[in-house]
A = this chain, B = another copy of it.
Amino acid sequence: MDSSWEDLTLAFSRTSMFPFFDIAHYLVSVMALKHRPGAVEGAWKNPFSSWFTAMLHCFGGGILSCILLAEPPLRFLANHTNVLLASSIWYIIFFCPWDLISQGYSFLPVQLLAAGMKEVTRTWKIIGGITHANSYYKNGWLVMIAIGWAQGAGGIIITNFEQLLKGDWKPEGNEWLKMSYPSKVTLLGSLIFTFQHTKHLTISKHNLMFLYTIFLVTTKVRVLGICSLAVASHFPQHL
């Protein structure tokens, strides 16, 4: 491969997630929480409960992988900067006057940009999980796949469990492990990064990160774009 491609992918793989990509992740997670029925009234009645749920949405993957590796599930609270960032985003999304943030977020390009940036954090989380699991179990590739997957897509399981405890959600037979599209894509990513890590795939890590992220972002943005266009063509007054 020529040197400029190498330079591009290396620079990409060294991008820091903090603060912009993390902000996009928190924004998308908390907006998903806000669109649940009853979330806004709940936040006014019981702000602490709403804040707690928002933290579970933002840090769910980390909490799940901590539980699976028997590390303190509260560890995310020790990273004060990220907790304060996520809390501020929760605050302005739920309590901003005239709902300015939601108005801005309903503008399609903003939504696409945030969703795309959130997918970038997914790659970084999968790799973080695999590296972390590898420090526990050398050659434990099943554990590495599981932890990479938990980091990348575990928020869904944590928030389902939280809804179960709250009584908002009743589990149905065999529904629980029926995998959503993000779960499947994250499992695929966890598989290929694990095999890259154990040298069964001879592609270099930064190239793989670049290609997988491009794949994640394009599929996500295309799906969102098609959905929005379909809605727009049926309800043209929304444009």
The residues of A with any CB-CB pair to B shorter than 8 Å are 38, 42, 45-46, 48-49, 52, 66-75, 77-78, 80, 83, 136-137, 140, 142-143, 146-147, 161, 164-168, 170-179
Which residue on B lies nearest to A39, using beta carbons? B174
A143 lies within 8 A of B78 (CB):
yes
Contact among B73, B166, B171 for A174, CB-based, below 8 A: B166
B69 lies within 8 A of A143 (CB):
no
7 A/B residue pairs, CB under 8 Å, sorted by A: A42-B173, A42-B174, A70-B70, A80-B140, A166-B175, A167-B170, A167-B175
List chain B residues, Cβ under 8 A from A164.
165, 171
A67 to B71, CA, bound (A): 9
Given the known interface contacts A46-B177, A49-B174, A143-B77, the answer about A72 and B136 at a Cβ–Cβ threshold of 8 Å is yes
A178 to B174, CA, bound (A): 26
Given the known interface contacts A167-B172, A171-B166, A171-B167, the answer about A146 and B74 at a Cβ–Cβ threshold of 8 Å is yes
List chain B residues, Cβ under 8 A from A177.
46, 48-49, 52, 166
This protein's copies in its complex: 3
A176 lies within 8 A of B171 (CB):
no
A167 to B172, CA, bound (A): 5
Contact among B38, B68, B171 for A173, CB-based, below 8 A: B38
* Minimum Cβ distance to chain B for residue A33 (Å): 13
* Minimum Cβ distance to chain B for residue A50 (Å): 9
A222 to B180, CA, bound (A): 47
List chain B residues, Cβ under 8 A from A136.
72
Contacts A75-B137, A78-B142 supplied; 11 other A-B pairs, CB < 8 Å: A66-B70, A67-B73, A68-B72, A68-B74, A75-B143, A77-B140, A77-B143, A78-B137, A83-B142, A165-B171, A167-B173
List chain B residues, Cβ under 8 A from A67.
73
A137 to B78, CA, bound (A): 7
Which residue on B lies nearest to A184, using beta carbons? B48
* Minimum Cβ distance to chain B for residue A23 (Å): 20
* Minimum Cβ distance to chain B for residue A164 (Å): 7
List chain B residues, Cβ under 8 A from A69.
72, 74
